[in-house]
Amino acid sequence: MSRDEKWLLSGGLLFASLTLLLWWGLKYSIFQSTLLSSRVEELLNQTLLHMGIGQENIAEKFSEEKEGKIIIHETIIIPNGEKFVEELSRRLKKARFSFSLRKEGDTFLLSVGKHGFTTHILKLKSKVEESSLSHKPRVAIIIDDIGYGGKGDELALTLPPQITLSFLPQTPYAGILSEKACEKGFEIILHQPLEGRKVDPYPNPGKITCSMKREEMERILNKNLSTVKGVVGVSNHEGSIFTSQKEPLEKFLPLIKERELFFLDSLTTSKSQVEEIASRYGLPLLKRDIFLDNRKDPAYIHKQFQKLLTIAYRRGYAIGIGHSHPVTIETLRKELEENRDKILLVHLSSLFEESIP
């Protein structure tokens, strides 16, 4: 091999080595930035879960490759922006990520990275823009199961009167409490017991079952309505069996329509057929978004309320159902006070005043 050939071979090997090193360096850079991005995503999702906020509040998400690094951009609607940023910052510091934070109006801008990599650019919107009261997201809260008396029922009547109260029929205090509620300006609906999956050894009075004829349903409904004052609508108590079957609904829902009432589907089953049958008969219908107190725990109720706000901010309105437990009432009172400037608390029936998709 000649001297020139040796130099050419050596130069080729050097060029190949440098190219390989550059390729591996670029690949390692992308690999490392991907690992860091995954860790930040994990911390972000943990914080969302901790604050009781679902993935549905992510308004926008996309990634870009810049100088061999992946940068993720996310826009997230956060009902309580300051608390969320505080919690996320704490978790990032603990994981030794670096970040910069600034605020523009109601939006927090957060740039997150590590080892010179920027992995995420986050826009955290703490609330929607509001030019007037009418543009605030509307929130309807229903308190179910009132009528048996006790501390929970008494506390429910001390809430803001924009709340909707849902009374169980033929209960000892349904008449007197619904009359007091009307005087205070609350909206009243009948919480109609319908057949569910559970066999209740102490069934609610006035329950309507799938096997009943239309005439029997009508007789029971009339009696139930006579025990509660000022009823403007009806919701289902239990009813996972009843609302999942078309035949009983075709007998029952027209009775609601004939009395010029609306219906709220509590959605006690994912198999509900109420919407289809209600639309067939032209019955005004609304559907529950969130159950606030499946667990009687203030922290859980807080998380559920934050989920309700997220839906309201995204869609313009949201419907939440709680029950007349003292812990629910007191937690709800606190949540409503903290968010009174961010939402418009409304009676359930007022949601029919605008076109609701």
> How far apart, in whole angstroms, are the C-alpha atoms of residue 215 and residue 202?
24
Q: Please report where in the chains the tokens 């437990």 appear, as a residue.
A: 325
Q: Please report where in the chains the tokens 């859980």 appear, as a residue.
A: 300
> How far apart, in whole angstroms, are the C-alpha atoms of residue 57 and residue 121?
16
* Angle (nearest 5°) at CA 163 between 162 and 169: 135
Q: Which residues of 110-123 are buried (b: 16+ CB within 10 A; e: fewer)?
A: bebbbeebbbbbbb
Q: Which two tokens stand for residue 190?
A: 């009948």
Determine the distance from the C-alpha atom of residue 49 to the mean position of all C-alpha atoms in its chain, rounded to a whole number: 13
Residue 28 pLDDT: 43
Rounded to two decimals, the pTM is: 0.66
Strands of the sheet containing 98-104, edge to edge, are: 58-66, 69-77, 117-125, 107-114, 98-104
> How far apart, in whole angstroms, are the C-alpha atoms of residue 233 and residue 320?
16
Tell me the backbone φ, ψ of residue 88, rounded to 5 degrees: -65, -40
SS3 104: strand
Q: Which two tokens stand for residue 111?
A: 């740039």
Q: Pick the closest to residue 255 from 304, 220, 289, 292 (CA basis).
A: 220
Residue 145 pLDDT: 96
> How far apart, in whole angstroms, are the C-alpha atoms of residue 348 and residue 164?
6
Residue 72 pLDDT: 81
**Average pLDDT per block of 10 residues along the chain, 357 residues long:** 49 49 45 63 75 69 70 80 81 84 84 78 68 71 96 96 96 96 95 88 82 97 97 96 98 97 96 96 96 96 94 92 97 94 92 62
* Angle (nearest 5°) at CA 152 between 151 and 153: 95
Domains and CATH numbers, the chain: 32-125 (3.30.460), 133-353 (3.20.20.370)
